Amino acid sequence: MRSKRGQILVENLIFIILNLAFLAIMFLFVIKQGAGATILEQTYAKQISLIIDSAQPGAIIKINMADAKEVADEKGVPFVDVVSFNKNSVTVKLSKGGGYTYTFFNNVEVNSYVVEDVFYVITVDRKMKSGGATP
């Protein structure tokens, strides 16, 4: 009788452990999918673009990109090359591919630099008009 009961308990225990392992694998899968390079590239490009659109000239924006740095380091992309600006578009690149580009409509001069390893500082300034000095 005792051995039979013991057997049932071991079987149940293994069953519960296997179920827990399955749930843990599923949980890790979901987390991994959400922290993928493609998703992060898109998220940051759109976020930065919207921030620039709503910013006034003279604004300085500091963004914590710790999760992006983790992915960039994994993929061998230097963190200083992750965010780049070209005319009125921002490109976020976390892998060796082309990255994700999104345009903004605010006609401003945008520059960026890295501080404290994981932060990107974005400066928004008035665009210098070519061919004439401002009064």
Partner 1 sequence: MILQDKRGEEKMISIYWFIILLLVTTGIIVMVNLFYGSPYDVREIEANILAEDVANCISPAGNLSSEVYMNGVFREDFRDFFLEKCNLTFDSSNPFEDTQYYVEVNFYKSIVLKDPDFTISEGNPNWKPDCELNPKKHKNLVRCVEKQFYVNVKGDIYTVKILSMVGKTEQNVK
38, β-bridge pairs: none
- DSSP H or E run through 24: helix 2-34
Q: How far is the CB of 121 from partner 1 (least distance, A)?
A: 21
Q: How far is the CB of 66 from partner 1 (least distance, A)?
A: 20
User: Which tokens sit at 79?
Assistant: 């963190």
Q: Which is nearer to partner 1, 57 or 97 (CB)?
A: 57
Q: How far is the CB of 58 from partner 1 (least distance, A)?
A: 12
User: Which residues in this chain contact partner 1 in the complex, by CB under 8 A?
Assistant: 22, 26, 29-30, 33-34, 36, 39, 42-43, 46, 49-50, 53-54, 57, 86-89, 101-103, 105-108, 126-127
Q: What would you measure as the largest C-alpha separation in the chain, in angstroms? A: 99
Q: Which letter does DSSP use for residue 129 in this model?
A: P
Q: Which is nearer to partner 1, 43 or 112 (CB)?
A: 43
CB 35 within 8 A of CB 71: yes
